[in-house]
Amino acid sequence: MRMKILIARMNHETNTFSPVATPLEAFGPDGPCYGDDAYREHAGMRTAMSAFIDAAKREDASIVTPISASANPSGRVAAAAYDAICASIVDAAEGCDAVMLDLHGAMVAENSPDGEGDLLERVRRVLPHAPIAVSLDLHGNVTQKMIDHADVIVSFKTYPHIDMYESGAHAARLLFDRMHGKAEPVIAWAQPPLMTHTLRSATDEGAMKRAVDAARAAEREDGVLAVSVLPGFSLADIEAPCLSVIVVADGSRAKAQEVADRMARLIWDERESFVYRSAPLADSISEGARLARATDKPVLLLDHGDNCMSGGTCDTTDAFEEALQQGLDGIVVGPLCDPDAVAKLYAAGEGARVTLGIGNKLASVASRGKLPLEVTGVVRALTNGEYIISGPTYTGQRAYMGRAAVIETQNARILLTERTHEPWDLGVFESVGIDPRSARFLILKSRMYCRPVFVPLSGGFVECDSRGVTGSDYALFSFSNLKRPVFPLDANVEY
């Protein structure tokens, strides 16, 4: 008989300090994809779910894809949305021979502080003996429930994430090796009390690169099937938004634990290297101006304090205002999320000259009661905000910014959208008639995903911390559920 394999996706990185709502409609252009649509969304793409589908097809399995639900990072997932997504997966589980789940690992819902762990517990209750394989984002916040109820867990090894497919393929290979009696995957993990900064989790430099290199080396040891280093996502007020090491070994939990503990100790010894300390915003903008004097290419000003892919409101104007105050021109800024401004520009029409307030409209740690920034300019473009991502992240997928509008002022071209959106592709700007290469300065509400595409065409970049809802200063945030002591919030933390 053909194997019946359940494959699904539930992705959300929850910033519990973000005021951006996360209803069911946020999980796709108009909500999740279901059934055959979920299958088609990933067939031939480069996600972990795509790899699961390809692996199941090679096994000539019967494939069940109840849902594909993926939302940009934002605030807590609405209880109704979480319940609906979980129900789609759990209801489809009965009678399946195996399960492969493309999860993020850092979901917090209004009714669940451990979104993935609670889902896995429910799936395991339906399928007590079926193997469950999970692919996680590198920024997942691992919990004991996740370890207890999965047979295989493999995370990405790159940030920016360009190995989503590969991590899914790795997890699928181990799952089918178990089903065919070629391996007996067992999991162990370690979690030092270390809250990392996302800007210290880039895998091509520093301590994080050394950790990933060590993980790859450990995977070459006898009996080791997978080693994942997850720096976690610290902007979540949960018990332990901390770094984790997950090891999958072949039959020996003792071996898996030994490797996990060894890796965790190496990382703990370098804990200072996982801390990012921002320069004052004015200094960062000044550094950008200095770089511009030495190049004819755009200089990137990365506003990571209001970063879309960490749950930012994407409507703060601090970095833009500081650039204007310092006399910068030739600026392209965006996407700035402001549905109200988009509606007004649509009402005015292309070619109209308008004055309106933009940004600073969502109440958050970032806005601090600021009024919208008043700008005057000409409406240059109005579009549906859709484009196809050229890669290397989410290659081939259709992206949705909501309706988009461009207003050109004396010093800047400003891209305004109805939805928060990561500038991970030239299509963000080219779809609205802006050639980003023509900019003197590109102010991007991005931390890392923009880099594979925009850094090569730039004359340099500067990280700008606007002290928003995704800022790197943990003193901006009130943690009430966090287990203390934890580094770097506390001194003299032992591990």
Range of the domain at 414: 281-471
**In terms of domains, do 198 and 113 share one?**
yes
**In terms of domains, do 126 and 146 share one?**
yes
Q: Which residues contact 62 (CB under 8 A, 6 or more apart)?
A: 2, 3, 4, 5
Share above pLDDT 70 across residues of the chain, in percent, rounded to a whole number = 99
Q: Is residue 479 one of the residues assigned to a domain?
A: no
Q: Is residue 467 one of the residues assigned to a domain?
A: yes
**In terms of domains, do 261 and 295 share one?**
no
Query: For position 366, what pLDDT does the model report?
Result: 55
Q: Is residue 477 one of the residues assigned to a domain?
A: no
Domain C-terminal end among 230, 257, 274:
274
**In terms of domains, do 308 and 446 share one?**
yes
Q: Which residues contact 400 (CB under 8 A, 6 or more apart)?
A: 29, 385, 386, 419, 421
Give the DSSP letter string of 348-359. H-TT-EEEEEES
Of 426, 379, 424, 432, nearest to 404 (Cα)?
432
Q: How many domains does the chain have?
A: 2
Q: What is the pLDDT of residues 112-149, one digit of tens each?
A: 999 999 999 999 999 999 999 999 999 999 999 999 99
Q: Is residue 86 one of the residues assigned to a domain?
A: yes
pTM: 0.92
**In terms of domains, do 220 and 318 share one?**
no
Q: What is the pLDDT of residues 170-216, one digit of tens each?
A: 999 999 999 999 999 999 999 999 999 999 999 999 999 999 999 99
**In terms of domains, do 212 and 288 share one?**
no
Q: What is the pLDDT of residues 354-406, one digit of tens each?
A: 999 999 988 666 556 789 999 999 999 999 999 999 877 777 878 899 999 99
**In terms of domains, do 220 and 122 share one?**
yes
**In terms of domains, do 316 and 202 share one?**
no
Query: For position 397, what pLDDT does the model report?
Result: 79
**In terms of domains, do 317 and 240 share one?**
no
Domain C-terminal end among 248, 274, 300:
274
Q: What is the pLDDT of residues 327-341, one digit of tens each?
A: 999 999 999 999 999
Mean pLDDT of 287-297: 97
Exposure letters 276-299 (e unless 16+ CB within 10 A, then b): bebeebeebbbbbbebbeeeebbb
Give all strands (DSSP E) within 222-370, no chain letters. Answer: 224-230, 244-250, 299-303, 331-337, 353-358
Q: Is residue 418 one of the residues assigned to a domain?
A: yes
**In terms of domains, do 270 and 353 share one?**
no
Q: Is residue 484 one of the residues assigned to a domain?
A: no
Query: For position 368, what pLDDT does the model report?
Result: 67
Tokens of 317: 């104007």
Q: Is residue 58 one of the residues assigned to a domain?
A: yes
Share above pLDDT 90 across residues of the chain, in percent, rounded to a whole number = 90
**In terms of domains, do 323 and 269 share one?**
no
Tokens of 214: 């060590």
Domain C-terminal end among 274, 289, 318:
274
Mean pLDDT of 433-441: 97
**In terms of domains, do 254 and 353 share one?**
no
Q: Is residue 478 one of the residues assigned to a domain?
A: no
